[in-house]
A and B are shown apart, each in its own frame.
Chain A
Amino acid sequence: MIRVRDLNVTFGRGRGAMHAVQGVSFDVGAGEIFGIVGESGSGKSTVLNALCGLNRRWSGTVTIDGETQSPQRSRAFHKKVQMVFQDPYGSLHPRHTVDRILSEPVAIHSLGKTEARVLQALEEVGLGPAFRFRYPHQLSGGQRQRVAVARALILEPRILLLDEPTSALDVSVQAEVLNLLTGLQGRRNLTYILVSHNLAVVAHMCRRIAVMNRGIIVEELSVETLREQSPEHPYTRQLLSASRGYDRAAAANIEEFETNTMEKKGHTPEVDA
């Protein structure tokens, strides 16, 4: 369904250039949930932004559903591929009602039958018609993220790109949103790419997982390997041990994993131990 080969993204140019994604390749099958984990700055969100067409400055080959993508995307592409962002407080227009938020994509794609579609989308994310004329500030964080999922689903896409969809939410709400995403995936046979810093979330949702560090996929592994806590790469092992909770000994053994292809480390006195 999704085939990425040698994806590179560079921000800036010249000496200040930041090579954020360096030669990333992976495949995602139809109906699969593929996970990308990494810490901040690892390039995981940058990969998603390049895939969905938000960032047009990349190089490499991206094939989605058999079509090789150019930086400029067609309307049909966006009907097929939708994105859900991290922060439901920032990704919904504060002065638009839920109805308007959901109707806009329908109007852009001239799909017609707006009202029926809006009601169906609300139903599908478990909100119901009562929420139709509310503003985002009248909703809780979990309800807002449901609206964001409904907005992505209303175009009946086949691929959802999820960028940290639950990291701004309380754990109880996170469970609800993850259940919603799992259920939708099963019902509609959607393909997901889930980006997260939370290993447990990714292990819960995905069968295959790519671990990114400083713009490179250091390891691609199956969820079984992750569950057995037996990844190959030392970076993944460190990430695993760090997410197990506080351990004085583990904290003492944390190393920086550098990549020799880093072009520039930044001009600031970065002296983190």
Chain B
Amino acid sequence: MDALLDVRNLRVTFKTPKETVQAVRGVSFTMGREKLGIVGESGSGKSVTCRALLGLIRPPGRIAADHLRFDGLDLLKIDSRQMRHIRGRRIAMVMQDPKYSLNPVMTVGAQIAEAYRIHARASRSIARRKTLEMLEAVRIRHPEQVYDAYPHQVSGGMGQRIMIAMMLIPDPDLLIADEPTSALDVTVQLQLLAIMDDLVQERGMGLVFISHDLNLVASFCDRIIIMYAGRIMEICNAADLQQARHPYTRGLLDCLPRMDTPPGKLPVLRRDPSWEEGAP
């Protein structure tokens, strides 16, 4: 497997007047063109890890790492101009809520076309054609109508399709999806995942899928990283999640209410202070 992404000892700290918060504490992993899931509770550092990859950590946040290699290029050593060429064109990111990620005063089509023209320097008419193709690729049935719609006129599921269309139109190598379906209904979520699944496979992209939903990630991704308190607890194949050994992973799995077990008291996660200390 050629490493598309090679992260070694990533640390992200936020210095505040009161204390220094270590959001990510020595995270290392590599990934190829596969679907990699990152799971953890709120505050586990999963989103910050991915924002660090895109250089989206603002002061007072600081990133440090042995290296942060993307396709052979160390993202920590390049300047902000080079970073702008990578961000969006080669690594794209879909965030949780399309309501806050889309520009409310610009039509959907114009926003997607803008994303294309910034990276491809194409004429307006080509950009429009590309945009309509892309809207069709995310299975929007009347792309012409949606092109001229404003974000408030579309549903949450469609908003997220639009975000995916916008992120994929420059044809990136790596897509980072940060809880892209958490705000959506289960059926809409399933359809959206199918769209991402197909596009990622067709285009041979890598996908980092951040979620708090262990079972969803296990059924969708190839490999899973389980994070707690800024550290990786365990990396396992998605198919083997039910056999996971780390007590934290086990605890997360056990405390979920399940359809196939009789009701009763749910096991509660007992947090072990050593999880925060010892590196796996």
- State the A residues within 8 Å of B (CB): 39-40, 141, 170-172, 174-176, 178-179, 182, 197-201, 203-205, 223, 226-227, 229, 238-239, 242-248, 250-252, 254, 268-273
Contacts and interface: CB of A to CB of B under 8 A. Distances in A.
B contact residues, range = 35 or more
Nearest to A167: B182
Interface stretch (B77-85, B120-128, B187-195): B187-195
B134 interface: no
Interface in B95-150: 139-142, 145-146, 149
B191 A251 contact: yes
A187 B189 CA distance: 38
B1 interface: no
Given A242-B190, A273-B191, A205 B263 contact: yes
Interface stretch (B23-31, B45-53, B60-68, B250-258): B250-258
Of listed A226, A239, A243, residue having the most chain B CB within 10 A: A243
A171 B140 contact: no
B141 A271 contact: yes
A176 B268 contact: yes
A141 B155 CA distance: 28
Of listed B149, B197, B257, residue having the most chain A CB within 10 A: B257
B251 A172 contact: yes
A228 B184 CA distance: 26
Contacts of A252: 194
Contacts of B255: 171-172, 174-175
Contacts of A271: 140-142, 145-146, 158
A272 B265 contact: no
Contact of A175 (B42, B156, B266): B266
Contacts of B74: none
A67 B269 CA distance: 43
A248 B267 contact: no
B146 A269 contact: yes
Interface in B146-194: 146, 149, 153-158, 185-191, 193-194
A200 B194 contact: no
Nearest to B257: A204
Interface in B9-51: 41-42
A41 to B, nearest CB: 9
A246 B259 CA distance: 16
A254 B145 CA distance: 23
A164 to B, nearest CB: 13
B257 A273 contact: no
Contact of B268 (A175, A270, A273): A175
B216 interface: yes
B191 A179 contact: no
Given A40-B185, A242-B187, A269-B146, A200 B158 contact: no
B180 to A, nearest CB: 13
B190 A254 contact: yes
A273 B146 CA distance: 13
28 contacts: A39-B186, A141-B42, A170-B41, A172-B251, A172-B252, A172-B255, A175-B268, A179-B265, A200-B258, A203-B263, A204-B258, A204-B263, A239-B186, A242-B190, A244-B219, A246-B216, A246-B219, A246-B220, A248-B197, A250-B190, A251-B190, A252-B194, A268-B153, A268-B155, A271-B142, A271-B145, A271-B146, A273-B141
